[in-house]
Structure 1
Amino acid sequence: MKTWIDGALQGQAEAYEQLVTQFRGMALAVAYQKLGDTFLAEDVVQEAFTEAFANLSKLDKPDAFPGWFKVIVERQCYRLMRRKQHGTVPVLEIEDVIQEENQAHNPEEQALKGEVHRLLRDSISNLPTSMQLAVELFYFQGYSLKEMSEFLGVNVPALKKRLYDARSRLRRSLPVADVISVFSDLYEGGKGMLHIMNGDHAADRLRQSGIQGEILVWRELYTFGPITKNMRNEKERSERAQYLEHHLGIPQTEYLKIKQLEQTLKSFHQHEEIVLWFEYDLYDQAMLSYLLHYFREQDLKNTKLNLLCIDNYPDIEHFRGLGQLTPSQIGRLSGTWHVMGAEEIQAGSEFWAAYASSDIQDHKDYLLKNTSVLPFAHAAFKAHLSRLPSVSNGLGIIEQSTLEAIREGVNSPYPLFKHVGDQLHILGMGDLEYWAHLKRMTEEPHALLQLSGVQAFPNFQQHHDEFRHAVFSLTELGIQVLNGEVDWALLRHDTSYTSWIGGLQIGEEEDKLWRWDTVNGNVVIL
């Protein structure tokens, strides 16, 4: 918001356009509610924007623009009403915004749908004014609850209550089995929306929630294996596929299905809106940044890009991800996303460029950037770098936490995964990734751990029931490293093992100089 206001004050045409695009629909809804005439509402909104831009320098706080502009719209309405000598303004039907591209495709179906929509509009006109406006802005205009709250000066819970009450009343008045289906061609769902998220479990919950629209589950693991800025390079993609198959057991054919996802993503212009569903941890932030890097290079045209990114949920003490939520809980998140501006998209692209860089200086520099426009980016990037060998003993944060847990007596695989996963929840680490780290810690000639009771680790293709009963113990070297007597990273340079932390390749000669300072929270180049 501040970027748009500052740009408009400097006379930037693009900033004016952003403000008009963002608030025109809301303004029209408010004006129509007052005047009951589409053409008069258009005139009022045009006058309101003229007045707002002329007085923009009087606005003390940019974040106050939505409410301030609403007051201007209402004032323009009252001026017009006085000029026209309207004593009262009747509440008329909401303008029909549902236009089928091909009315003749299925005449009977179109006639039935048209009748239902007519009944819907008639029923909406009988709702209290506050409910009418909420329905208009949310379902017909497509604004999120957060945007509506800022514009109307009404808190989000109150708006949710209005929409709930409106649906309840409509359910009683409309002769249809499921009133939500009536709205399926409007904002909350329908063919116009694409939801992008990770995790099939969370996607299933989203489908069950009643939120309509197409769902694209993005299946990638940007926290493991070789990463480059352009992940679509065929040669590097093939090398990544081989690496993931070797270390995680993911068949190359399975991984290369990412090409199909990319083809689906390319057709994003078929959708009026995209909602990115992500969380606070490194796993999600890396994926989000990759997608924002992609969208920054595209011409979005009329497609609206939205973001829902959370680190908590009411009544869930230890929130770890959307997969924890029930369909009903996910349903309550509907509309709480916000439209992303150019500044946010650019910030996501910068995260990815730094994360995927093979130059340690780019990673260091990113830590110094102001990333507040993406509130979870800094903590996630810091967690990313904490995986580097530490200055004290050459262990990354995953190895350090694992050895400490085993020393404390947590020595079987699944309790160990839960313990370390909870402690390092900022990483968002999955079990396959963790098993790969554990396996590396048991490998000779510099093994930190000894595994008893089983010979093999599970992977993408193989799940061993006996692995549950395995026991880990510290080797003599593991104890020495944990005590800071030996530097594990220096020892491992004698082997040919190579790993990646983002775009940084660990195992090359120069990375002996890269260390993470756990005390000061920064990268040290020795």
Structure 2
Amino acid sequence: MSQRRISSTTDGRINLEQQRKRAKELLPRLKTENPTATLSQAQWQIAKQLGFSSWPKLKAHVDAIDFAARHPAFDASDEARTTHWRCGNDIAHSLQVAGFKGEFQMLTDPLCMGPVRDLPGEDFRALRSAFISQAFSLDHAEVTRRVHAEYDHLESLASADHSVLWCEADAYDQLFLIRALAGLEQVPRKLELIEVDRIPGVERFIGIGQLAPDVLAWLWPQRRVIDDDAVQLAKQAWAAYCDSSPIKLAELAQGTPPALPFLAPALRRQLQELPGLHDGLSLTERLSLAYIAEAGPVPFARVFAELMAKREPLPFLGDMMFHALLRPLIDGEQPLLTESAPDHEWPRRELALTPLGHAVLNGNAHWLEHASHVRWVGGVCLTPRHAHWALGDDNQPVWRS
């Protein structure tokens, strides 16, 4: 599942000597504004740009990461019996490089997309397999095999000796987290969580997968034990997400429960995938159309990069997911987008708005009155030209008849 001023890093590692050099280069400019400016003030400004309140705190952070990299004993509690869980394979290699010894498991089901309903296990797996194979043009039999294998492994979470869930704050990860916890009857003997919404020095944090192995080592001691409150909250949130009405999900999204502190913001972002009351667009669709209207014709890959780097408030999509989300805007009987050079790989194809696309983006037409594809947000079904749930001006669900 991919930015930035010169002060930013992308993998979380900060070169202290480079920052010292930057502070020295900054000092003359500060002195033109204030002749009494000092190197310490320049260092403070550099630290502030990187997300620290002081230069000593920046230095302490760099020292902590360096220590974790130089002392492999940090992972003494990571034994062969430990299972590391992730909603993708993006950190599997980095964990090995960092010296982690446990087994790696993942659930790749993109629960932030497609129908997610409260169904018996086999029916749920069949529903998700059908969606994944259709949305990503994958072999249905292979997808079904993988979905069954991953969910079989996930069921073993309840009886595992020691499991650690690695999550970030976006909807993709938080939905994986509540799905994993909601399947538990009670908290296992040792279940821990590492979750993060920012990394010092990384101006635009997209996800754990962008981090260097030694930064994963630095995160390891910050894990915390999952308790009964977290499991019960996950059960409530999962039931609300699977509901055909988004009302309960919206209620949970307004809270700030300490058991899962990143859940509510992720649910608020996921609710923004409901169609807007006036244009029928999800936030992802609206942000994409707005950029294409400004810059188009523009390659598919550049639209995705623009959203991830600047416009998306809580990045949760991989590139293939983004491509799948935009296909209905291109392939419908009354499309909002045109796509050039279909013989090219999709990232290179240029996108441009149709007249209907401009009308919808400007609020002069409603997408669900022209769309050809049924869309889902969790358990909420959105059928073109039928009454449906929408998101009002106050970001609360309303029934649009």
- Same fold (TM > 0.5): yes
Residue 190 of structure 2 corresponds to: 304
The Cα offsets for residues 239-263 of structure 1, whole Å up to 9 and x where unpaired, read as 3322221221132233222222233
Separation (CA, whole Å) in 2 of partners of 1:281 and 1:235: 27
Q: Any residues of structure 2 matched to 1:151-230 within 5 Å, and which?
A: 180=73, 187-230=76-119
Query: CA separation in 1, counterparts of 2:179 and 2:223?
Result: 19
Q: In the alignment, residue 514 of structure 1 is paired with which amino acid?
A: W
Contact 1:194/1:273 (<8 A) preserved? yes
Q: Report the alpha carbon displacement of residue 195 of structure 1 after superposing the two structures with TM.
A: 1.1
Q: Does 1:506 align with 2:382?
A: yes
Match in the other structure for 2:303 = 416
Q: Please point out which of 308, 317, 328 is paired with 1:429.
A: 317
Equivalent of 1:361 in 231, 242, 247: 247
How many residues get paired?
336
- Residues 214 and 270 from structure 1, CA distance in 2 versus in 1: closer, same or farther, beyond 3 angstroms? farther
| Structure 2 partner of 1:123 | none
Cα distance in 2 between the residues matched to 1:469 and 1:368: 40
Cα distance per residue 1:492-517 (max 9 Å; x no partner): 3xx4x21211111111776x241112
Residue 58 (structure 1) aligns with: none
Q: 1:460-507: CA deviations, max 9, x gaps? A: xxxx54x34321111011111111111111233xx4x21211111111
Q: Is the 8 A contact 2:171 2:269 kept in 1?
A: yes
Work out which of the two has the higher radius of gyration on C-alpha atoms and give 1 or 2: 1
Partner deviation per Cα, 1:166-195 (whole Å, 9 max, x = no partner): x86xxxxxxxxxx74xx97xx421133221
Q: How many angstroms does 1:523 deviate by?
A: 1.3
Question: What amino acid is aligned across from residue 368 of structure 2 in structure 1?
Answer: A
Local SS of the residue matching 1:524: strand
**What whole-Å deviation, never above 9, does each CA across 1:435-459 have from its counterpart, x for those lacking one?**
122221112322101111225xxxx
SS at match of 2:304: helix
Question: 1:246 aligns to what?
Answer: 134
Q: Which structure 1 segments of 5+ residues have no match?
A: 1-156, 169-178, 456-463
Q: 1:513 to 1:444 in 2, by over 3 A?
A: closer
Q: Contact 1:203 / 1:217 at 8 angstroms: preserved in 2?
A: no
Q: Which of 481, 500, 508 is residue 360 of structure 2 equivalent to?
A: 481
Matched residue of 1:408: which SS? helix
Q: Separation in 2 of the partners of 1:357 and 1:371?
A: 21
Q: Which has the higher contact order (CA 8 A, sep 6+)?
A: 2
Q: Judging changes above 3 Å, is the alpha-carbon distance between structure 1 residues 225 and 269 closer, same or farther for their aligned structure 2 residues?
A: closer
Cα deviation, residue 299, structure 1: 5.7
Structure 2: give runs of 5+ residues left out of the alignment: 1-59
What residue number does 1:393 align with?
279
Measure, in 1, the Cα distance between the counterparts of 2:179 and 2:215.
Answer: 27
TM-score, normalised relative to structure 2: 0.76
Pairwise CA distance, 1:364: 3.3
User: Taking structure 1 as reference, are residues 416 and 193 closer, same or farther at Cα in structure 2, changes over 3 Å only?
Assistant: same
Describe the SS at the equivalent of 1:399: helix
Residue aligned with 2:219, SS: coil
On the 8 A contact 2:368/2:384 being kept in 1, the answer is no
Aligned to 1:470: 349
Alignment check: 8 A CA contact 2:253 2:265 kept: no
Distance in 1, matches of 2:88 and 2:348, equals 28
Structure 2 SS opposite 1:194: strand
Alignment pair present for 1:326 and 2:205: no
- Return the alpha-carbon distance in structure 2 between the equivalents of residues 200 and 234 of structure 1: 24
- Under a length normalisation based on structure 1, what TM-score does the superposition of the two structures give? 0.59
Deviation at 1:425, TM superposition (A): 5.0
More helix by proportion, 1 or 2?
1
Which residue number corresponds to residue 461 of structure 1? none
1:442·1:451 contact (CA, 8 Å) conserved in 2?
yes
Indicate if the aligned counterparts of 1:191 and 1:271 stay in contact, CA closer than 8 A: no
Deviation at 1:269, TM superposition (A): 6.2
Query: Cα distance, 1:164 vs. partner?
Result: 5.1
2:271 paired with 1:382: no
Cα distance change on mapping 1:270 and 1:247 into 2, 3 Å: closer
Distance change >3 Å, CA 402–CA 338, structure 1 → 2 = same
Residues 190-241 of structure 1 show CA distances to partners (whole Å, capped at 9, x for unaligned) of 13322111222211111211122111122211011211234x5323422332
- Percent identity reads 25
Label 1:425 to 1:197 Cα distance change in 2 as closer, same or farther (>3 A): farther
Distance in 1 (CA, whole Å) between partners of 2:162 and 2:266 is: 27
